[in-house]
Amino acid sequence: MRITMIGTGYVGLVTGACLAEFGHQVICMDKDEAKIAALREGGIPIYEPGLDALVAKNVREGRLAFSTEMAEAVGAAQAVFIAVGTPSSRRGDGYADLTYIHAAARELAVHLTGYTVVVDKSTVPVGTARQVARIIREANSAADFDVVSNPEFLREGAAINDFMRPDRVVLGAESERAIAAMKELYDPLYLLSTPFVTTNLETAELIKYAANAFLAVKISFINEMATICEAVGADVKDLAKAVGLDGRIGRKFLHPGPGYGGSCFPKDTLALLRVAQEHGVAARIVEAGVEVNAAQKARMVKKIRDALGGSEAGKTVAALGLTFKPETDDLRDSPALTILPPLFEKGARIQIHDPQAMPQAASMFPHFHYTSSAYEACQGADAVVLLTEWNQYRALDLAKIKAAMKSPLFIDLRNVYEPAKMREAGFTYVCVGRN
Ligand code: UGA
């Protein structure tokens, strides 16, 4: 099939490259000329394992191209994906900003030729697909099209695998013709017996928010359990294992930490709260999940301060990892961005190492000290704080870390290390929910 992807951000680029890999003819289009020029030269604007090779292969084999021209990209397409950003609104009220979605719908409308499926891939509030249909109809009353809601479930750092081997594909559609076109598009997944959930537009849109909200609440739940474990002398790792072994609960997403971050959970939980509010219904569990997450980040600051003897003034803190999780260079809503500044403001010197995000961080926090390795970050430190569980921090040379530090205080906000082993190695070891 001939497919156009509007928006070459994280979702658009991964989806475009993967659909090309399925054998379709894909044009990824973006208004950002510099970005398209870079993509044409093989430059990938984000760090996502395997994406550069996948893009290069499909460009080389003639299935993937880049364009800034809406007319060229949309005219011949049988399916046009809208994969533009839906950030939280600048008003700070948690509403999703649909400016880019509406603009894309308006602009693509006039170029539609022949029957076209317009696919909402961006994460959007309930009702957006119908708005998109209305906008297209208003801009081009002769257009022959259907709108489909097809939410994405891609994790940063594992996006290609999540696309190629999804747990499910959700299709919100209201015409047989549109469903048939989507099935053709995802044909290789049928061969893998991937479950497809076909439903109406509103349900498909809400499924995406519900899935992310459930996962966010699951994390907040285990973080709350970690706090209770600390209070009563229990071990959250054993607790999570035993609770998660109940098949009805499941072991995934029961890892306590500094709170969830990223471009999805924080934004989507708030947007879901607004959807509920707008419709006059309560969403108290999601609301509590959001509050617990904010409290968790604040609790981490206190944990570090307490471990430093009640004050961080004049202390050197080595921070390992800045991104909201490993295998990404994404700093959006990363817990590190909430946890480190208060320490700095109270007089701590912050020495940082992160495998991917230091250039972006340096422009946000010019007063932090950026280093070339975990060991350099630990030089002269009063404490090391492990914020992101990058693989290279899982097997640190502990003797080398200890020798570099002023005092051997290890604060592990991802519970990567074993308390007994760390004590044996001579560290004062502080972690989450298991001391
Ligand atoms: C999330 C969802 O997992 C994807 O299914 C979804 O498609 C995506 O949002 C999206 O809406 O686009 P992502 O934000 O890439 O994916 O990251 P996750 O792996 O879900 O992690 C989110 C945050 O939760 C991270 O800060 C991570 O450290 C934290 N987390 C995760 C925990 O603290 N504990 C856990 O057990 C799991």
User: Does 30 sit in the ligand 1 pocket, CB within 6 Å?
Assistant: no
Alpha-carbon gap, residue 341 to 325, rounded angstroms: 19
Ligand 1 neighbour 86 (Cβ under 6 A) = no
Cβ of 170 below 6 Å from ligand 1: no
State the catalytic residue, choosing from 18, 28, 229, 264: 264
pTM over 0.85: yes
pLDDT at 435 over 80: no
Tokens 């972690």 label which residue? 431
Distance CA(43)–CA(32), nearest Å, equals 14
Domain residue ranges in the chain: 2-199, 209-290, 299-430
Nearest CA to ligand 1 atom 17: 155
Helix 265-278 and helix 201-232, axial crossing angle in degrees, nearest 10: 120
Dig out the tokens for 420 from the structure: 């007994």
Give pLDDT, residue 169. Answer: 97
CA of 157 to the centre of ligand 1 (A): 10
Q: What's the confidence (pLDDT) of residue 175? A: 96
Question: Which band of pLDDT confidence, cut at 50, 70 and 90, is reported for residue 29?
Answer: very high
Question: How many angstroms separate the alpha carbon of residue 26 from the centre of ligand 1?
Answer: 28
Question: Which pLDDT band, with edges at 50, 70 and 90, does 216 fall under?
Answer: very high
d(CA 294, CA 133): 37
Alpha-carbon distance of 304 to 120, in angstroms, equals 43
Please provide the CATH number assigned to the domain covering 2-199. Answer: 3.40.50.720
What tokens does 162 get? 């999540």
**What's the pLDDT band for 323 if we cut at 50, 70, 90?**
very high
pLDDT of residue 56: 97
Cα 146 to Cα 140: distance, rounded to the nearest angstrom: 13
Q: Render pLDDT for 130-177 as a digit per residue (tens, 0 to 9).
A: 999 999 999 999 999 999 999 999 999 999 999 999 999 999 999 999
313 pLDDT band (50/70/90 cuts)?
Answer: very high
Would the CB of 123 count as within 6 Å of ligand 1?
A: yes
- CATH fold of 299-430 reads Rossmann fold (3.40.50)
Q: Are 171 and 120 in contact (CB under 8 A)?
A: no
Q: Indicate the pLDDT class of residue 90, thresholds 50, 70 and 90.
A: confident
Query: How many angstroms is it from 165 CA to the middle of ligand 1?
Result: 17
3-state secondary structure the chain: CEEEEECCCHHHHHHHHHHHHCCCEEEEECCCHHHHHHHHCCCCCCCCCCHHHHHHHHHHCCCEEEECCHHHHHHCCCEEEECCCCCECCCCCCCECCHHHHHHHHHHHCCCCCCEEEEECCCCCCCHHHHHHHHHHHHCCCCCEEEEECCCCCCCCCHHHHHHCCCCEEEECCCHHHHHHHHHHCHHHHHCCCCEEEECHHHHHHHHHHHHHHHHHHHHHHHHHHHHHHHHCCCHHHHHHHHHCCCCCCCCCCCCCCCCCCCCHHHHHHHHHHHHHHCCCCCHHHHHHHHHHHHHHHHHHHHHHHHCCCCCCCCEEEEECCCCCCCCCCCCCCHHHHHHHHHHHCCCEEEEECCCCHHHHHHHCCCCEECCCHHHHCCCCCEEEECCCCHHHCCCCHHHHHHHCCCCEEEECCCCCCHHHHHHCCCEEECCCCC
Distance 55 CA to ligand 1 centre (A): 24
Q: Do domains 209-290 and 299-430 have the same CATH topology?
A: no
Q: Whose CA is nearest to atom 30 of ligand 1?
A: 260
265 lines ligand 1 (CB under 6 A): yes
Instruction: Please report the pLDDT score of residue 191 as a whole number.
Output: 85
Q: Is the CB of 220 under 6 A from ligand 1?
A: no
User: What gap in Å lies between CA 416 and CA 233, rounded to an integer?
Assistant: 19
- Atom 18 of ligand 1, residue of closest alpha carbon: 155
Quick one: pLDDT at residue 384?
A: 98
Residue 7 token pair: 């928006």
Per-residue pLDDT band for 32 (boundaries 50, 70, 90) equals very high
Q: What is the pLDDT confidence band of residue 50, given thresholds at 50, 70 and 90?
A: very high
422 lines ligand 1 (CB under 6 A): no
CA–centroid distance, residue 267 to ligand 1 (Å): 12
Residue whose tokens read 């379709």: 24
Q: Is 264 a catalytic residue?
A: yes
Share of the chain above pLDDT 70, in %: 100
Tokens of 278: 């707008």
153 lines ligand 1 (CB under 6 A): yes
Measured from the Cα of 261, ligand 1's closest atom is 26
| 209-290, CATH topology level | N-(1-d-carboxylethyl)-l-norvaline Dehydrogenase; domain 2 (1.10.1040)
**Mean pLDDT confidence for 236-263:** 98
In ligand 1, which atom is closest to the CA atom of 257? Answer: 33
